[in-house]
Amino acid sequence: MQKRALITGVTGQDGSYLAELLIAKGYAVHGLRRRSSTFGTQRIEHLIFGESPSLHLHYGDLSDGNGLVRLIREIRPHEVYNLAAQSHVRVSFDQPAYTADVTAVGTLRLLEAIRDVQDDTGEQIRFYQASSSEMFGKVVETPQKETTPFYPRSPYGVAKVYGHWITVNYRESYGLHASCGILFNHESPRRGETFVTRKITRAATRIKLGLQDKLFLGNLDAQRDWGFAGDYVEAMWLMLQQDEADDYVIAMNELYSVRDFCEQTFSRLGMDYRDHVEIDPRYYRPAEVDLLLGDSTKARTRLGWTPQTSFAELVDMMVEGDLELARQEAVIKGLPAGRKAA
């Protein structure tokens, strides 16, 4: 029998990689999309157009609980992956109530919908919650693992703690097969352009081709454990294939600073980041997360999860992707594309 999966946040970075993975595994994949005045489906166009579209999109929103119930009743998924969120930490300080409604209470609405439909049909629906290393915030131990206490430092982090614990609570209260992946930062050429890694690779490649001069950043000393999103969605799927639901840290177990990321990106393009990067205090956060370093031993031993992409390969992949975008932009602008390329 063909398995059916529902992905919320399918138009986002992780949603696009997870949809590809599940389609490759033979699933019928359904995705929740928000209505917007533009298409917003750039990351998944290859899956929804063409001769045999393999991804089925449905309008919906995590703020609309009744809509979620209707959708789950209609699709009757075997697996639900909750990737939708207001996912930007800096923006969560500007929109704290909205972030709480979508990222925290949205998770509750989805769990309630699953519980209702599962009770009615008697068919198990397995659930994945996109928890985050941001929950560790002002870390109380290093590296961070599943047992490390949470100390969130942003409205986003607080909302994710709620989403995490309500998922654990529904597992323990109602026996739902509900697992949380506590994922550390993961990036790709599809990463949103306002997250720091993509902001850096986008700007550095545009600077290389003469499309801009400067890159304005905030705290260069922040340290993160960065992996490749394509590797991390495999862990999400593995969690839902286990007999018992559980929570897992997913990380590379390696630490780099924002400055390191700048240094590596600009040097690949034959440049020195110090000639182009300037500090703009607007990008500082009211409360910063200085250091996140994961310990993913549990996922590696119990799930057999092994990331395939190194930090250097990740940077290369993102630089390549953005160099191509910059070249296209240079052509449109009539600039001698690639003139300055190494």
CB of 245 to ligand NAP, least distance (A): 18
User: Taking each helix axis from N to C terminus, what angle separates 196-208 and 311-332, rounded to the nearest 10 degrees?
Assistant: 50
* Phi–psi pair at 230, nearest 5 degrees: -60, -35
Nearer to ligand NAP, 86 or 144 (CB): 86
Distance CA 232, CA 240 (A): 14
CB of 199 to ligand F7E, least distance (A): 5
102 binds, among ligand NAP, ligand F7E, none (CB under 5 to 8 A by kind): ligand NAP
Residue 183 in contact with ligand NAP, rule: CB under 6 A: yes
Strand partners, 59: 33
Residue 34 in contact with ligand NAP, rule: CB under 6 A: yes
Nearer to ligand F7E, 170 or 232 (CB): 232
When binding is defined by CB under 6 A, the residue of 6, 19, 29, 62 that contacts ligand NAP is 62
Q: Which DSSP state fits 85?
A: S
93 binds, among ligand F7E, ligand NAP, none (CB under 5 to 8 A by kind): none
Looking only at residues 98 through 137 of this chain, which bind ligand NAP when binding is defined by CB under 6 A? 102, 130, 132
When binding is defined by CB under 6 A, the residue of 83, 89, 200, 262 that contacts ligand NAP is 83
Q: Can you read off the two tokens belonging to residue 235? A: 């862990």
Nearer to ligand F7E, 11 or 118 (CB): 11
- Which one of the spans 138-146, 185-193, 275-283, 292-300 is the region binding ligand NAP (CB under 6 A)? 185-193
Q: Is 273 a catalytic residue?
A: no
Q: Can you read off the two tokens belonging to residue 136? A: 């560790």
Nearer to ligand NAP, 143 or 209 (CB): 143
Question: Which residue out of 87, 132, 179, 296 is catalytically annotated?
Answer: 132
Q: Which DSSP state fits 303?
A: I
Q: Identify the residue whose tokens are 């323990």.
A: 172
Q: Is 193 a catalytic residue?
A: no
CB of 7 to ligand NAP, least distance (A): 9
In the chain, DSSP assigns E strands to: 4-8, 28-33, 55-59, 79-82, 126-132, 178-183, 186-187, 215-217, 223-224, 227-228, 247-250, 256-257, 277-279
CB of 84 to ligand NAP, least distance (A): 3
Q: Can you read off the two tokens belonging to residue 275? A: 């000639």
- Which one of the spans 3-11, 203-211, 256-264, 274-282 is the region binding ligand NAP (CB under 6 A)? 3-11
Convert 178-229 into a string of H (helix), E (strand) and C (coil).
EEEEEECCEECCCCCCCCHHHHHHHHHHHHHCCCCCCEEECCCCCEECCEEH
Are residues 148 and 93 in contact, defined by beta-carbon separation less than 8 angstroms?
Answer: no
Instruction: List, by residue number, the catalytic residues.
Output: 132, 134, 156
Binding site for ligand NAP (CB under 6 A): 8-9, 11-15, 32, 34, 36, 40, 61-63, 83-87, 102, 130, 132, 183, 185-186, 192
